[in-house]
Amino acid sequence: MKTIYLLLFVFLFASACQTQKPEDVSTIINETTKARIDSTLKSFVDAGYVVGASALIFEKNKEVYYNAFGFADREANKPMDRNTLVRIYSMTKPVTGTALMKLYEKGAFQLDDPLSKYAPEFTDMNVYAGVDASGKIVTEPAKRPITIRDITRHTSGFISSQDSPLGELIKKTDAMNKENTLEQMAKKLASLPLAFHPGEQWGYGPSVDLQAYLVERISGKPYAEFVQENVLTPLAMSNTRYTVLESDTSRLAAMYFKGEDGQLNRNTNQDALSFNLRKWPLTPGGYGLTSTLDDYMRFAQMLVNEGTLDKVTILKPETIKLMATNQLSDSVTQRMWLPSKGQVGFGIDFAVRLRAPLSKEEMNGTVGEFFWDGAASTLFWVDPQNELTAVLFVQIMPFAGQVHKKFRDAVYGVYEPNVVE
């Protein structure tokens, strides 16, 4: 009888071990980590960094963390929650890149094709070379054409306005006016000199808006229609759109900015806030979408699963790998503020982490991670090494890099460079 009991115990113990497979166990987000993230998000609100914050994390295809603190709309006393809609600004860019790469997979273009092959207005571009004695802008012919690869990695020469004669010309041209169609935007951009020769620098600007225009030119469909049919609808991202439905406006978070006195003030500039409240001619590829935590997490989950989610394939694994591979050569030494995001390069519409931090003061993350953020300080990343995806939503300007730093440290723990990975 003792032998039977012993065999039964061994069988039950072995069965229990089999049901708890190593891949089912969260290796990053445990109870200690959850408490640390809670404390960090709460501290953002308590310290006045943000009015509200929410975060969602998946690990190995399972939800392992969600919480929200503070307000989506402080003045209306509406708490930040899972259904809050936020303006994701530049987190629109990876969605646009995904739409563009759908056409790449069909053989519609090659990355090193000249942009002018599909948009002739970008033929024979000139580059800003300063001003002459009378203050007139001087230009020189571009050394080579802008390629599609250039507009996916921000080496095209197009930048946002800056404090220079070129910056003044960019402002005057007003290519990104929301009353412009993508075609009108493109023609205005093509009339401007480039800030640098294609491929020589990394310059953030309207390159991804040109990707949206390219999608229109190649597909023959309006960009908003193409991205809806090929990315948003297949991923069941039903809350992600340019124009918030009238029935959903109460879910849209208010926008806040930090004043000179350090206090958080509500943005009441109706012109700045109007983009998502009605349909405009411009459907930019670089900004403009609103989304929820769960919607954007579906996009991130598709990426960590190498292009597929819920048996729906958006892109092939090799395309995701290409997008998450650094496309910047070492010769591109001028990279604006990109180094502030850590030891990163840039792929196709994502920053790509190449090396571990050199110090605990640097932005934390794992090698091989790819990610991007938004002007209102939203953030997401894909960590293939740990099969982890994270989305952080806040609505604060100007960009709050320290919020991202503290959130990353809460997820992974403060990086210690003396620890061998």
pLDDT digits (tens, 9 = 90+) for 90-119: 999 999 999 999 999 999 999 999 999 999
In whole angstroms, how far apart are CA 211 and each of 121, 150, 239, 272, 326?
14, 10, 23, 23, 19
User: What's the distance, CA 297 to chain centroid?
Assistant: 12
Query: Pairing state of beta strands 370-373 and 308-309?
Result: unpaired
pLDDT digits (tens, 9 = 90+) for 109-158: 999 999 999 999 999 999 999 999 999 999 999 999 999 999 999 999 99
Could you tell me which residues are beta bridge partners of residue 383? Answer: 388
The predicted pLDDT at position 57 comes to 98
Look-up: residue for tokens 């992600």? 240
Look-up: residue for tokens 């996009």? 299
In whole angstroms, how far apart are CA 114 and each of 120, 135, 164, 220, 398?
10, 32, 28, 19, 35
pLDDT digits (tens, 9 = 90+) for 214-243: 999 999 999 999 999 999 999 999 999 999
The predicted pLDDT at position 22 comes to 39
pLDDT digits (tens, 9 = 90+) for 8-39: 444 444 444 444 343 445 689 999 999 999 99
The predicted pLDDT at position 415 comes to 87
pLDDT digits (tens, 9 = 90+) for 32-87: 999 999 999 999 999 999 999 999 999 999 999 999 999 999 999 999 999 999 99
